[in-house]
Amino acid sequence: MMDAFLLLSGVSAGAVRVLTGLILLHRLLSAKRPDGRSLGAGLAGAAVLTASLSLLHAPDFYRMALEAVLIAVCAHWRQGAELRMGLFVSTFYEIGLSFWSFLLSAGLGVLFRSQDLLDARTLAGQSPVWLLHGLLAGLAVWLSRGQETDRKAVFRAVSAVTLAGFLAVITLSEQTVLEIPDDTLYMWTILAVVLMMSVLVFDINRQYEVEKELARLRTEQAELLERDYTTIDRAYQVNAKLFHDFHNHIGVLRQFLAHEKYGEAIRYLDELQAPIQDMTAAVWTGDETADYLISSKAAAAESGGIRFQAQVEFPRRTNIRSVDLCAILGNLLDNAIEAARQVPDPAGRSVTLTIRRIHQMLVIKVENSFAAAPVREDGCLKTTKTGGGLHGWGLKSAQTAAEKYDGMVQTGISGDVFRAVATLSYQGAGNLCG
């Protein structure tokens, strides 16, 4: 009877550990939220693993190692978590659980002066096990709510917990109520130090990844801005050439008009206007640089057989810098045009730009048709381009620019339309143009 109870308890505890581990990897590694299949595979694997090892009377070490592999593989297979970091986190997660299971058993044993609490094969020894797993289930519920947590706050909290465990095992070495072998205390003391080091290593690795991404993002943003600057500079050069030869053109027009050759004069004006008419046909925002950018993207869309529409209501005299506005507009429109270009039916290719002011909030919305829905990788949209290099960083560059104005960039899909919305807070007058 006791063996059946211990088997059922072990399977249930294993299920809680695996479930919490999958949710933990989702939060720590920015992986996808575990779905029904992921949880089902994890729970089934935990049940088979625990039952098999219990029947074989295998040491607890094998259970820890195999559970860590099970959690990492399930998270990698179903949630897209990086396998290397998944194994790192799940391994120290299992070590930490075993460490705190020992501390709770020893602490309760000292408190109640009972040696049986150290033996998990007894009914009394199961109480610390389920106290720990009850707390673990509560942690799983809290993590699954999806609330954003500050990385530094989490690091401090986990560091405090591991430090408390280290101090607790040192304190246990001084007690005389329970008979705990010195080798056991020494082993857990070493593992407590290893756990503290693992927390530090994980935080350093996460910080390195963030800094590496920011460095790539700055490079991407600089090259995107250089590309848009080249387009705008080309338009300025056309204008400069036009104005440089302005007196010559005036002389030619004067001769046409003097001889009443009005048709020739009109055709001459049309020829002068042709190189820049696409770039200067509309005043979208009142910001000359942004207007050139929008016009160039509209021309690029139309040359690709994409229907381009724009509705712009832009406030005058804001604190939004042209370089940031162009970073947002350029990246969102580039992504939209690229996705719309892949639609097989030319009649279905469309890009719509909408800019609206809501009180002191500027909303920039870009909608486009698409051939295949974008997928997420590590919590970010994965590019559909195959050229590599800079592709896939446009939304991150736009997000960086939006954050300067307490804003954000959000994406979503409605039917066959992909939508990217940037919101920015601004300061300035409320007069509108456009």
pLDDT tens digits, one per residue of 187-238: 999 999 999 999 999 989 888 887 887 777 677 667 666 766 676 666 667 6
Q: Are strands 350-358 and 307-312 parallel, antiparallel or unpaired?
A: parallel
To the nearest whole number, what is the mean pLDDT of the chain?
83
Q: What is the pLDDT of residue 333?
A: 92
Q: What is the pLDDT of residue 391?
A: 39
Contacts of 234 (CB under 8 A, 6+ apart): none
Angle between helices 151-172 and 182-244 (to 10 degrees): 170
Helix (H, G, I), strand (E, B) or coil at 357: strand
pLDDT at 268 over 50: yes
Tokens of 209: 């990844």
Cβ atoms of residues 240 and 253 within 8 Å: no
pLDDT in tens, 334-389: 889 999 999 999 899 999 999 998 888 899 999 999 987 766 554 555 555 444 33
pLDDT in tens, 293-307: 888 888 889 888 999
Enumerate domains of the chain plus CATH numbers.
Answer: 2-216 (no CATH), 282-433 (3.30.565.10)
Q: How confident is the model at residue 394 (pLDDT cuts 50, 70, 90)?
A: low
Q: How far is CA 59 from CA 8, 53, 64, 240, 401, in A?
A: 18, 8, 9, 81, 54
Q: What is the pLDDT of residue 244?
A: 61
Q: How far is CA 263 from CA 24, 160, 218, 248, in A?
A: 75, 85, 53, 19
- Nearest Cα residue to 420 out of 333, 304, 302: 333
Q: How far is CA 385 from CA 104, 341, 389, in A?
A: 53, 11, 10
Q: 239 versus 277: which is more confidently predicted?
A: 239
Give 6-37 as a DSSP string: HHHHHHHHHHHHHHHHHHHHHHHTTPPPP-HH
Q: How confident is the model at residue 64 (pLDDT cuts 50, 70, 90)?
A: very high
pLDDT at 395 over 50: yes
pLDDT in tens, 245-260: 666 767 778 888 888 8
- Nearest Cα residue to 412 out of 377, 371, 366, 378: 366
pLDDT in tens, 402-417: 998 989 999 888 888 9
Contacts of 282 (CB under 8 A, 6+ apart): 291, 294, 295, 310
Indicate the DSSP class of residue 303.
H
pLDDT in tens, 77-136: 988 888 999 999 999 999 999 999 999 999 999 999 999 898 888 889 999 999 999 999
Q: Is 147 exposed, middle or buried (0-12, 13-18, 19+ CB in 10 A)?
A: exposed
pLDDT at 393 over 80: no
